[in-house]
Amino acid sequence: MDKQINSAETIHTGSLSPASTISLAGLDLSSIPPIVVLSAHLRDDEDRIVKETLRQYNAPLTTDVSRARVFIGKVGTKRRAEFELRCRKLVVEEAVTSKRPASPVKAAVSVHKKRKLTGRTERVSSADHGDSTTEDEGVEDTEDEAHSQQEHVARSSPSHPSPVFENLSNDDVAWVVKLDWLEACVTAGHLAPLGDHLVYKCRVLGRPKSTNTRSIKAIFSAVAKAAPSSKTLLATRPLASHDVLERAKTDAAGPVPKTVFQRKQFGNHASRRFEGRSFAPFTQQAGLTFASQTAHLLQATTSEYEGVDTDFPQPPDWVKKHVKYACQRLTPANGPNEDFLEQLKEIRTARTLIDDEIGVRAYSTIIASIAAYPYKLSHPRELAQLPGCDEKTTVLFVEWKNTGKIQAVEDYKNDEAMKVLRSFYDIWGVGAKTARNFYYNNHWTELDDIIEFGWNDLDRVQQIGVKYYDEFLVPIPRPEVEQIASVVREHAIRLRDDRITVTIVGGYRRGKAASGDVDMIVSHPDLESTAGLVREIVESLEESEWITHTLTMSLTNTNRGQHALPFRSVKGAGAGFDTLDKALVVWQNPEWPTRKQDLAENPKAKNPAIHRRVDIIIAPWRSVGCAVMGWSGGTTFQRDLRRYAKAIKGWKFDSSGIRSRSTGEAVWLEGSDGVKGTPEDAEMAVFEGLELEFIPPEHRVTF
């Protein structure tokens, strides 16, 4: 057997990973009862590896404790096991298993050995049967274990149920087992006996009502409806058009097969969207796949697609040259394919909520590529020529073109679990993982649950996010963004001088009519003037009651002497993408029309003005161009900018500056003292130094 070892993907025992264990074909966990992973004491990577391993060997993994029977995790004592179950609202009591009567034959053999050892020749009374010394018990246990192993190997085939979790009573029984048991199964290549791996066996007297009526993965479990043949669009292979008619005849001749969504097994990878060239449905590119599906076909007028390539508009140069970096092409807002892109954005959000990072990146690439395409898409072959898109992407397009929607997107929007996760994900300070923890582990379904049951477990930022949940979701119009920036500049000038610059970045600079928050880069031509400036600005604004809460205050760049972030060495610990001084604050206009009257009537009158999210970033003048550039592009633009700098120039780019990956030295594209001009001039100098054509901010809308 081949053995693949990957030391980076290990749990405490050192080998449990889908790609790092002895992968024996005989192991099949499909016969065990529904199993839940106890995430307590598991790091994120350990939790992921355990779940991927269970899926790899077809274990019935679930998050619904109302039907789970097996619980596996880092649990060492009965008390801890009982606590874990009760935390999940299970009412349990230990199931005391009666000792199996000894076999009469084995008992006789045992007594014979005993008499031989002790020299006794008297007749054994009936009371001696079933009574043995500790030594005899060890012998019997050894024989039973050997017999059990042989019996297990014979019975653990797919045609026999697993004997490991046998329940001979009519009771609702649950088992809590150590993580080592899963590793033992993988290593042995078959279901291993529980033995010492069993921590706790109990009778379940009460279970919580299932709040997860549909699994989060079940959003893709509905059978897709075949489009009417009279309204279908020909879906051809971009690289194999000669077999279109033959495939169409084959598809039309037989019945449309029923589609079945199944989780793909990818080892350590969440998805492999770009693997292969099969004309598969879109779920395959996100880690979920159909067992089979027929592409929608235009059966009545296939001849109209002969020579169809000549009807396509001439693609832009970046398509012809297969330019893959978003920082090398124009991407305007409100392009001709916005309606289709909205569907893809919904899918990307779903991938985010189910923790499919690879799927999120893949969809981001697809969305950015289509958004940059200047023409209305009319045919799947036209779409497939775009960088990052292939036949799998075209299946999405075909379904949308034929039906006006994508069924999986409809399912996602209507799924109750997804609705809850989306609402939690919209809390400022709560990411996808925390949202899933709220829903699946804590069984919370609305904000009131968080406030009532988990308020003290939230960190301060999350508490503020919940408190101002509705207000933070209200978009900020451009005039208000400008007014906020002018107030910040006014206070900064008081603290320094009128050479202070404030550049509004983010969605505002890309031309959005309204923004989710306000991002601004503050700078000054003198290096010493930006050191510690963010703290002074925040204190001044707090004193004037513009800032109600300071969520995050960072002086990392000041403490580093305002130098570019050192290139991370192999031995050193790395820092995040953005290490500039910054303050993330909650903003509220202290003035309101009836303020004077309200305060006269009640000195503690509440300010009715809406709360806003504002980010104040301080950049030293010599790298202000990098800061403005790094904070002005859409997410994919920024990602591809870093990838381009690495692949093409051998540099490491972030908003604090640029470093050479070979020498670790700073690369001063703006000059060691900065550009003589504006922050926008400095940004253009960075584009030039990177050998990139300047792209106006309103054409960096990559989402």
Question: How confident is the model at residue 633, as a pLDDT?
Answer: 94
- Third-level CATH fold of 476-568+575-699: Beta Polymerase; domain 2 (3.30.460)
**Which is higher by pLDDT, 669 or 577?**
669
pLDDT over 60 (residue 304)? no
**Which is higher by pLDDT, 146 or 92?**
92
**Which is higher by pLDDT, 100 or 572?**
100
Is residue 389 classed as helix, strand or coil in its secondary structure? coil
Q: What percent of the chain has pLDDT over 90?
A: 54
Chain segment 135-178, per-residue pLDDT in tens: 333 333 333 333 334 333 333 333 344 578 888 778 899 999 99
Q: DSSP character for 171?
A: S
pLDDT over 80 (residue 630)? yes
pTM: 0.60
Q: Does domain 221-413 have CATH number 1.10.3470.10?
A: no
Mean pLDDT (the chain) is 77
How many CA atoms are closer than 13 Å to the CA of 259, on its beta-carbon side? 21
Q: Rounded to 5 degrees, what are φ and ψ at 269?
A: -110, 140
How many CA atoms are closer than 13 Å to the CA of 675, on its beta-carbon side? 19
Distinct helix (H) and strand (E) counts, the chain: 26, 16
Separation between Cα atoms, residue 60 and residue 655, nearest integer Å: 46
Q: How far is CA 437 from CA 65, 354, 420, 454, in A?
A: 14, 12, 12, 12
Question: How confident is the model at residue 566, as a pLDDT?
Answer: 67
Q: Could you write out the three-class secondary structure of 571-597?
A: CCCCCCCCCCEEEEEEEECCCCCCHHH
Compute the average pLDDT of residues 535-543.
97
**How many other β-carbons are positioned within 10 Å of the β-carbon of residue 447?**
16
Q: How confident is the model at residue 245 (pLDDT cuts 50, 70, 90)?
A: very low
Q: Rounded to 5 degrees, what are φ and ψ at 449?
A: -65, -40
Question: How confident is the model at residue 567, as a pLDDT?
Answer: 62
Compute the average pLDDT of residues 438-466.
93
Separation between Cα atoms, residue 228 and residue 402, nearest integer Å: 8
pLDDT over 50 (residue 520)? yes
User: 218 is written with which tokens?
Assistant: 């079940």
pLDDT over 70 (residue 223)? no
35, 164 contact by CB (below 8 A): no
Chain segment 318-358, per-residue pLDDT in tens: 999 999 999 999 999 999 999 999 999 999 999 999 988 88
Domain with CATH 3.30.460.10 in the chain: 476-568+575-699
Question: How confident is the model at residue 61, as a pLDDT?
Answer: 84
Q: Does domain 415-472 have CATH number 1.20.1630.10?
A: no
Chain segment 467-517, per-residue pLDDT in tens: 999 999 999 999 999 999 999 999 999 999 999 999 999 999 999 999 999
Domain with CATH 1.10.150.20 in the chain: 415-472
